[in-house]
Chain A
């Protein structure tokens, strides 16, 4: 049974709570489900999101957009004291989104999030934050975000973490992007994801990063924007976040058309350091 919230949780407050309640966590994953019903898209927010991610503005939600609506719920779940892993130091390592059919901006969405698959990773433990969006009872969108907590221990008998997204050879560069110093702040303003590691060099240093890093979901959305007009209607977009994208950077997007979709990679334009690799595939009917 899901706990239904009336509105979106305040992310800044949740980050503050996370910092204050980092100690003394542990145990198994709670089976809490958080939900919001009848959520409608604020068109101005959608426009701001499209602008910051360089996505075309139309009536169909970008595949990554519902995450804007489900992420605050997932944050509420993760910052709750019952959640076994401290939010500080949690790293987003994989995100898989499935668009079961195009979702239009005017549709009222029922959202639900939960955590599952506490798993063992060679450098700690991972957990999946899942989300689903339904319209009139039919699922239209789902996502699975895998977070790694370094040094954490999964419960006995936990499965192996599944964080790899294999891609084919991606040698040809399709586009070069200059990612400015303020890319994190700009996306934070729209997404509400004000994690200090994205906001400035100082706040990132305080959390152990040498410089501010770009939001992975922003990079993912920009890849989507770069492929606008060439994507299947129902799709599965799975990415692995590899090395942090430090700000500012110049990165190179590589794309390769494969049967049923695309393989993509975003790498540092100079060093070749891999930031994001992913696959986009036509979603076949699975029922």
Chain B
């Protein structure tokens, strides 16, 4: 018992709250999967498979929880290189569904890109925590961004736009947490806004003026500000070329479909329309467990993973979604609390990174089901069916467990 105590029961009140939330979410996921499956008790149903994945993930969780923070800290570069190489393997294997995202283990597909997310966070956290004296300086941001860029560049070539975006998601919160100053962070956001603004001449001009005013009031050398300002403007002007020549057809298509879902009702925006129909028709209290016609009649695509929230919304209504959203909120809030209370800088930053990854999954996935974002193949943490991602969630959970042990 003492060993278990060491890794599990000894945990503080935040950790036990976390376990409660995670078990609620997985239970909710299982209930939903049971409703979706035609024959829930057969060995091939997503329900039973999910149970098997959870048990397997729990085992991995217990094993990994034995590692201590120092081991991870000291070997973070090694972990990153290992994950990076793992991501290269699929390129030497036959493609699965025309992509190089998966490694087929026979009984199970793993998606190495998922683990690269964690490795990237750990490496960035190590860098930030080791350079705490320089964080006030602007140049500190280059190394973390370079690491994130390296990872996401690899993933983008698999191609997996969703994961590539997720890899960038933790960078800003982690830097903010580490104390990088507000202007630097603003500088990092500006290119993104510039790119979005570039789609429309008027908006681009307004943004150009707005950016000019903000740059005037911030500190730093005049030359630096002018250079960054014009770099932004050029990014905006070059973006259309990037859009046309650099993005894959399907990526562009998904983005366009997102902007106007009614254009192609049977194509990729079919997903969005069906999902919104499922959600909207759920109403306040839902159609009842196993009663969702959109779900049960298979109008709703990839309902056991990417669109599982739509199933919940249809069958349990706004009430059910509110419960799920509350659980997600509590999950992330608890992680923030843990990070805030943590006595160790490195651990604290890693937890912020992990919570950013979880939250970006939650946000992008939910926003996608309700038509606020383009369709990306991103599952919902702890709820969606899928072995590789469930395993990743529990690996993150074990990292959280490890990093909160002080």
Co-assembled chains A and B: no
